[in-house]
A and B are shown apart, each in its own frame.
Chain A
Amino acid sequence: MDITRLIIVAVGGQGNLLSSKVLGEAACRLGVPVRMSEIHGMAQRGGVVESAMIFGDAQSTIISDGEADLFLAFEPLEALRALNRCNSKTIVITNTSKLPPFTAAIGKGTYPDIEIIKGLIQSKVGQLITLDANALAKEAGNELSVNMVLLGALIETNVLPITADSIHEAISETTKKAFVETNIKAVELGRSAVKQ
């Protein structure tokens, strides 16, 4: 089976570990070979959290620079920072809602303008898809469901052999009961936001 490499970057607390878990569970349900790797030592201390997921017949659990086929960013500055993970064919999906780091707040560095960020990414990758996942999460009924909105946008690219139904099932199994309904709604809002 062809190999597809996905990198997800987020800021600690945005819930990317849950979204990669849901995606992995969905792949397992469908019998799609999947491996993933995460660095979460500092996840709850506001640092950057990165997951690598490899679908298909590969043994490695990490992805080298320039080798991501798909790249999902929960935050636009982090999308730009991790651009070394992409190549000229990579499909990039990024949330446009900013989470400025504290360093920018105290004047150590400037947060670039969102249009500049988009332009820079666009010029270096295969395709750029943007959405305001925070707004859609709010619409779904839970501001914390940004991860599910982005998951929806990701599967709508149809690059991964993962169906929306399997995502729904994985959500029902993996996420807290009280949030299943909003999580599924968030996935659907993410999907329709990027539908072409």
Chain B
Amino acid sequence: MHKLLVDQPGATKFLLGNEAIARGAIEAGVAFTSTYPGTPSSEISLNFFQMSRESDLYFEYSTNEKVALEVAAAAANAGVRSMCVMKHVGVNVAADTLMTLAYVGVRGGLVILTADDPYMFSSQNEQDNRYYGKLSGLPILEPSSAEEAKEMMDYAFELSEQLQEPVLFRTTTRLNHSTAPVVLGEMKKRVTSGDFPKDPFNYVTVPAVSRKLHVKLLKNLEKAEALACESAYNFIKGSGGWGIICNGVSYNYVTDAVRDLNIADKVKVLRVGFSHPMPKTLIQSFIKDCEKVLVVEEGEPFMEEMVKAFAQEIQYTNPVKGKDPELFSRLFEFDPAMVRSNIAKYFGVSYDAKDLTDLSDIPELPQRPPTLCAGCSHRAVFYAVNQATEGAGTIRTTDIGCYTLGFLPPLSAGDFLICMGSSVSTGCGFSKTTDKKVISFIGDSTFFHSGIPGLVNAVFNNHDVNLIILDNQITAMTGHQPHPGVDMKGMNYNGFNQISIESVVKGLGVEHISVIKPYNVKKSIAAIKEAIAHKGVSVIIARQGCTLFEKSLKKHVGKPFYVSDKCKNHKNCLNDLGCPAFYVEEDKVRINAALCSGCGVCAQICPEHAILPLK
């Protein structure tokens, strides 16, 4: 049985934040779940997927976040408790839906989880999604720890049903990817089906209906604010003349700092866990007798600005600070020492900060950037593109996935990237405005997610771009999730269909289409040359399963290669491919057999044919 389905109330499990969140949803009786995978939220959906295989929980990997939210919105409006999981930038994709869903509301509980990524451990920006609460008018809950996240999930569903609105559940990487002992609770029964009573004058958002719904939304906001002021998740610890207001993981750093600085009798801490609408009267009564107030929050001054506005209403004129050149930054994530020293500085507490180790005599060390795996077919494609376009000025627009890593030398296969699906459309803009040939790279999952509209646009407006779809037949970057192009039957998952990328591309009217096997270097180069010579839209589908995934399935384990005595040290293999299986020993090129997957690309490009398979 799946470890998160175990019925053992009171048992303590050492759970990842994301596991605790999934368990919390299960305990709350969630019955319908959807997602598009994205770090740091991916493990929540992975656990839902696994549990859906052995229970009546419904789960789907949806095409993108907008679709995921729409299926969940309808399920919730049929009265079924639903949850939709995405990373912070996924909410941008779903934002169109979110903004008007806030007007329409829900009947059964709907929790939308947004996993923010301060410091951008695995994201293209560090936007603070609390502003989505403000923008849409929806309530936001923010836990501080794995165990609280589990507990708060039940409340999130209750709150959603009470207000008849979706609830935004906001986490950050340090919560999603932290692990702690979590006590399991009772599991509510899942109600997996409901009904949708027709009421078009409340559900069909034509202007006349929406005018009415916006009034309802604002009334709901008032109700929510009253609830926030009373919420057990907005609590005060300690007493004293100094005030600290904090949220999320910052609360942990504040708690540790108050203990380390020995100031528990001087400071009171307001932890805001129900952060939109901000609990106005609670905050006003908290600050009114404080000598000064410090707001500790990662990201934007979301709470700080509100606290200052609330202070103005009650003519509170003592200092309120947070984001400040001398205190906290809007950049990146916080850490315990930073919070400790800023609290000490702001309130004038003396303490001996530890001297940092003097590292001035450490030599410059070789970097260890993440890189495409040994045998990754993306490398083979990028090499072939470099050969096919040698000497020709090209612009390479790229997209979000493992293949983004190809932007680094020696492959240099990426000049421009904004977000999911941007490769094709930005390619169109560059091709119209420069005299360079444009090549766009997109992964299979990303193509389905948001690449198709860009390709439609390219065909309709007759752009001159070559799109290479890097089809490794899985969503590799986030941990090998399925997507609409995956052969689910082949992986023993029944009940799915498979969509052929060729058929889609053909159906869109692309004139020049070719399919290549990336490990065949010569043929790949020839096909790329041909595609580039085509004036207009051309598409190459480069198909080869993800090496890492196939290794995990014990499929395709090729014989490793070695460098024989015929080697004359041209080092093309080393310098042009950047494969991590290679190393140099006493100026001789060598291949680490344990890493080599046997793709054979290096063997094909060696001018001396010196690279041979191990017998």
B413 CB to closest chain A CB (Å) equals 16
How many residues belonging to B are interface residues under a CB distance threshold of 8 Å? 56
The interface residues of chain A lying within 8 Å CB-to-CB of B362 are 80, 83, 120
How many residues belonging to A are interface residues under a CB distance threshold of 8 Å? 57
A46 to B487, CA, bound (A): 28
Given A60-B252, A86-B357, the answer on whether A42 and B583 have CB atoms closer than 8 Å is no
**Contact digits for A76-102, partner B, Cβ 8 Å, 1 yes 0 no:** 011011011011100000000000111
B423 CB to closest chain A CB (Å) equals 20
Candidate in A11, A77, A101 with the most chain B CB atoms within 10 angstroms:
A101
B359 touches A84 (CB 8 A): yes
A90 to B603, CA, bound (A): 47
A126 CB to closest chain B CB (Å) equals 11
B179 touches A38 (CB 8 A): yes
Interface-located stretch among B45-53, B313-321, B330-338, B441-449: B330-338
B354 touches A67 (CB 8 A): yes
Q: Which of A46, A47, A103 makes the CB contact (< 8 A) with B366?
A: A103
A106 to B200, CA, bound (A): 66
A141 CB to closest chain B CB (Å) equals 16
Given A64-B338, A105-B582, the answer on whether A111 and B369 have CB atoms closer than 8 Å is no
A156 CB to closest chain B CB (Å) equals 23
Candidate in A25, A59, A107 with the most chain B CB atoms within 10 angstroms:
A59
The interface residues of chain A lying within 8 Å CB-to-CB of B365 are 77, 80-81, 109, 112
B253 touches A60 (CB 8 A): yes
A106 touches B575 (CB 8 A): yes
A28 to B174, CA, bound (A): 20
B370 touches A84 (CB 8 A): no
Q: Which of A24, A103, A124 makes the CB contact (< 8 A) with B367?
A: A103
Given A24-B14, A59-B145, A60-B336, the answer on whether A45 and B371 have CB atoms closer than 8 Å is yes
A61 touches B252 (CB 8 A): yes
A63 touches B177 (CB 8 A): no
Q: Does B600 contact A (CB under 8 A)?
A: no
Candidate in B368, B370, B371 with the most chain A CB atoms within 10 angstroms:
B368
Q: Does A138 contact B (CB under 8 A)?
A: no
The interface residues of chain A lying within 8 Å CB-to-CB of B548 are 44
B249 touches A124 (CB 8 A): no
Q: Does A48 contact B (CB under 8 A)?
A: yes
B179 touches A24 (CB 8 A): yes
What is the total of A-B residue contacts with beta carbons within 8 Å? 160
A45 to B406, CA, bound (A): 12
B575 touches A28 (CB 8 A): no
A60 to B122, CA, bound (A): 21
A80 to B355, CA, bound (A): 18
Q: Which of B177, B253, B366 makes the CB contact (< 8 A) with A110?
A: B366
**Contact digits for A51-73, partner B, Cβ 8 Å, 1 yes 0 no:** 00000001111111111000000
B373 touches A44 (CB 8 A): yes
B357 touches A35 (CB 8 A): no
**Contact digits for B367-409, partner A, Cβ 8 Å, 1 yes 0 no:** 1111111000000000000000000000000000010010000
Nearest B residue (CB) for A41: B122
- Interface residue SS majority, chain B: loop
A100 to B582, CA, bound (A): 10
A14 to B409, CA, bound (A): 25
Given A67-B354, A108-B366, the answer on whether A102 and B371 have CB atoms closer than 8 Å is yes
B366 touches A64 (CB 8 A): no
Given A25-B14, A86-B357, the answer on whether A39 and B121 have CB atoms closer than 8 Å is yes
The interface residues of chain B lying within 8 Å CB-to-CB of A107 are 584
A11 to B371, CA, bound (A): 12
B220 CB to closest chain A CB (Å) equals 33
The interface residues of chain A lying within 8 Å CB-to-CB of B536 are none
Q: Which of B251, B357, B363, B372 makes the CB contact (< 8 A) with A112?
A: B363
A196 to B361, CA, bound (A): 30
A105 touches B336 (CB 8 A): no
Nearest B residue (CB) for A25: B14
Q: Does B208 contact A (CB under 8 A)?
A: no
Q: Does B96 contact A (CB under 8 A)?
A: no
A185 CB to closest chain B CB (Å) equals 21
Given A41-B121, A42-B122, the answer on whether A35 and B179 have CB atoms closer than 8 Å is yes
Chain B residues 567 to 615 lying within 8 A of chain A, measured CB to CB, are: 574-575, 578-580, 582-584
Q: Does B481 contact A (CB under 8 A)?
A: no
B232 CB to closest chain A CB (Å) equals 18
A100 to B368, CA, bound (A): 9
A61 touches B174 (CB 8 A): yes
The interface residues of chain B lying within 8 Å CB-to-CB of A120 are 361-362
A46 touches B178 (CB 8 A): no
The interface residues of chain A lying within 8 Å CB-to-CB of B39 are 41
Given A83-B362, A120-B361, the answer on whether A36 and B370 have CB atoms closer than 8 Å is no
A125 to B362, CA, bound (A): 14
A48 to B364, CA, bound (A): 17
Q: Does A12 contact B (CB under 8 A)?
A: yes
A46 touches B373 (CB 8 A): yes
The interface residues of chain B lying within 8 Å CB-to-CB of A109 are 364-367
A102 CB to closest chain B CB (Å) equals 5
B358 touches A61 (CB 8 A): no
The interface residues of chain A lying within 8 Å CB-to-CB of B145 are 35, 59, 61
Chain A residues 175 to 192 lying within 8 A of chain B, measured CB to CB, are: none
The interface residues of chain B lying within 8 Å CB-to-CB of A112 are 363, 365
Q: Does B40 contact A (CB under 8 A)?
A: yes
A101 to B579, CA, bound (A): 11
Q: Does B255 contact A (CB under 8 A)?
A: yes
A47 touches B177 (CB 8 A): no
Q: Which of A61, A87, A104 makes the CB contact (< 8 A) with B178?
A: A61
Interchain residue pairs A-B with the least CB separation, the first 8: A109-B366, A64-B337, A41-B122, A47-B370, A59-B252, A45-B370, A42-B370, A61-B178
For the A-B complex with A28-B14, A106-B582 known, give 5 more contacts whose Cβ atoms are closer than 8 Å.
A65-B337, A77-B366, A84-B356, A103-B369, A124-B358
Residues of B within 8 A of A (CB): 12, 14, 39-40, 121-122, 144-145, 173-174, 177-181, 249, 251-253, 255-256, 335-338, 354-359, 361-373, 402, 405, 410, 548, 574-575, 578-580, 582-584
